[in-house]
Amino acid sequence: MMHYTGSVEVVAGSMFSGKTEELIRRIRRATIARQKVQVFKPIIDNRYQVEKVTSHSGTDFDAVPIEKIHDLLGLLESDTTVVGIDEAQFFDEEIVQITAMLANRGVRVIVAGLDTDFRGEPFGSMPVLMAQAERVDKLQAICMVCGESACRTQRLVNGKPARYDDPIIIVGASEMYEARCRKHHEVPRD
């Protein structure tokens, strides 16, 4: 019997930093190593294909869309050794307990998500996942204003920065969001 050491890995960063691309890279490496992999994503992530995780560059991998993170448990196959979860910031706080439980069972859990929202504030359960993970990689994008490294996600409404009081969750891609550095990230308040 093969023995796997469970762990939680988090790939975090702003939009367009390559989080999903890195998740897919790790998942593909696991499949090459003949490990049983299952990938899950929130059903609200409908930017590309429903049953795939897809990077902005078009790289994709089959995934199961779920409404709540708890749904993953009923869909998990007994021989799965690697679980990928994309867009983790959209799941409720139960994701922390479920990823820990899977890791304690010997499953390698790879989670990708935004660490901050468009306001630049911690997003959902990502900060707790990052604190409890064995491995955290924080990726950076390129600022669309100056070309420097970008760690923030700028939401745009009609080409202007979204206001602080706007809704936190609006699913979109390059038509609504761009990467920005600290200097060029703007969140106007009333």
Q: Which residues are annotated as a binding site?
A: 13-20, 86-89, 143, 146, 169-172, 177, 181, 184
The question of whether 87 is a catalytic residue gets the answer: yes
Q: Which residues carry a binding-site annotation for substrate?
A: 169-172, 177
CA dist., res. 34 & res. 46, Å (int): 29
First-to-final CA distance of the chain = 61
Active-site residue (options: 21, 22, 87, 178): 87
Non-local CB neighbours of 155 within 8 Å, separated by 6+ positions: 118, 161, 162, 166, 170, 176, 177
CA dist., res. 12 & res. 23, Å (int): 10
Q: Which residues carry a binding-site annotation for ATP?
A: 13-20, 86-89
Using an 8 Å Cβ cutoff, are 7 and 134 in contact?
A: yes
Catalytic residues: 87
